[in-house]
Homo-oligomer: A and B are copies of this chain.
């Protein structure tokens, strides 16, 4: 599902955003030469939990966003927004299957 091309349509922002764990690994762990084990320990979470995030099998919870902001310094909001954009992209894939009536043309 992540390897679609589909750049031919109206080209809304269909960018298939990377899951935040991918960004986390490339922007935080690798530059600092951190192992998954060491980073998980610093974040105060289990290695399993961090591994799940890094490999896209878990999302960044609000609390995790705060942890990341403490450890790596970026704002918790930026971490959480990455997750939100990713979750929203997934939900949008199913938009046409939702049975909803328009109530306003706002």
Interface residues of A (CB under 8 A from B): 1, 28, 32, 34, 39, 42-44, 61-63, 65-67, 70-74, 76-77, 80-81, 84-85, 87-88, 90-92, 94-95, 98-106
Which B residues lie within 8 Å of A28 (CB)?
103-104
Nearest Cβ in chain B — how far from A71, in angstroms?
5
Contact A66 to B95, CB < 8 A, known contacts A71-B102, A103-B72 = yes
Q: In the complex, are the beta carbons of A66 and B91 less than 8 A apart?
A: yes
Q: In the complex, are the beta carbons of B106 and A88 less than 8 A apart?
A: no
What number of copies of this chain does the assembly contain? 2
A70 to B70, CA, bound (A): 37
Pick the most buried of A65, A90, A92, A100: most chain B CB atoms within 10 A of its CB.
Answer: A100
Q: In the complex, are the beta carbons of A88 and B76 less than 8 A apart?
A: yes
Given A71-B104, A80-B88, 20 other A-B residues pairs in contact with their CB atoms under 8 A: A32-B104, A42-B101, A43-B101, A63-B98, A66-B88, A66-B92, A66-B94, A66-B98, A67-B98, A70-B95, A70-B100, A71-B102, A72-B103, A72-B104, A73-B106, A76-B91, A77-B84, A77-B88, A80-B87, A84-B84
